[in-house]
Amino acid sequence: MALLNISRLPVCPECLAGMHPIEGEVCGVCGERVLSTYADHDAEGLAQCPVCRRIERPFSRAVAYGSYEGGLRELIHLLKYNGVRPAASVLGGMLAEAIAALEPAFGEARVLVIPVPLYKAKRRQRGFNQAELIAGAALKHQKSRFELATDILRRIRDTHSQIGLTSHQRRENLRGAFAVTAAGEVTGREVLLVDDVYTTGTTVSECARVLRRAGAAKVWAATVARTMKDPGFKVSEFQGFGTEAKAAELENFEASQP
């Protein structure tokens, strides 16, 4: 399939046209696909997945624009691994749509936007932090509502790849990897964490935990893409487990998804 250069961005028109927002009912906390048969709803009418019904997340809500597959996945890879920076503008527009879904829940004060940081060696190697570029592009037309802060949260320890790890191993891998450098800047503030992809939520959760510990009033999360559960997933497969075991098995199932 031939590639056309659109606004300096090598992109397949069919792939670009195929990048759609996530459809169907999703969890109002983590954004995972929810099968209506097993969905519970909170007081605000938002659905909750089986994991979020049993586990209290350190963030208030996480949203994403699209599913991490197909053309959207390739576009993220163009930026992240090939250094095609014009892709950040397109991805930023998608992120802005995701953020719009959260805006009714924000308070009146300006929201502090913090991109998930890279470890210094990784940033030097890549030459940029893709989360910062995407966040900057998303906020170009919303500066009065948000305040971008790129130096408050730092990644102080390098970590191994998360691929193939269980949820417990992922948490241990990231424990102590992030630190807030200016707690006074986040104390009492609402914080919006921004990243390119939400896979199992381990990175977002660890960052949110550190920010809450530093005094953030609430932490929200927005990503361009999210790894969605296989449509063939059946919650009934876990019905025989007890409450805690079921939540653990569901978390491990999430971690096993590509």
Domain positions in the chain: 4-256
Q: Tokens at residue 71, please?
A: 């053309």
Question: What local confidence, expressed as pLDDT, does residue 107 receive?
Answer: 93
Question: What local confidence, expressed as pLDDT, does residue 77 receive?
Answer: 94
Beta carbons within 8 Å of 145's beta carbon, 6+ residues apart: 103, 106, 110, 111
Give the span between the Cα atoms of 258 and 13, in whole angstroms: 26
Give the span between the Cα atoms of 200 and 168, in whole angstroms: 11
For helices 130-138 and 87-100, angle between their N-to-C axes, nearest 10 degrees: 60
Closest listed residue to residue 205, CA positions, set 229, 172, 164:
172
Q: Supply the Cα-derived Rg of the chain in whole angstroms.
A: 18
Q: Which residues of the chain have pLDDT under 50?
A: 1-6, 232-258
Q: Tell me the sheet residues that pair with 4.
A: 11
Q: Tokens at residue 131, please?
A: 């989360």
pTM of the entire structure?
Answer: 0.83
Question: What local confidence, expressed as pLDDT, does residue 138 receive?
Answer: 96
Closest listed residue to residue 178, CA positions, set 133, 114, 125:
114
Q: Tokens at residue 222, please?
A: 């927005």
Q: Tokens at residue 248, please?
A: 């653990």
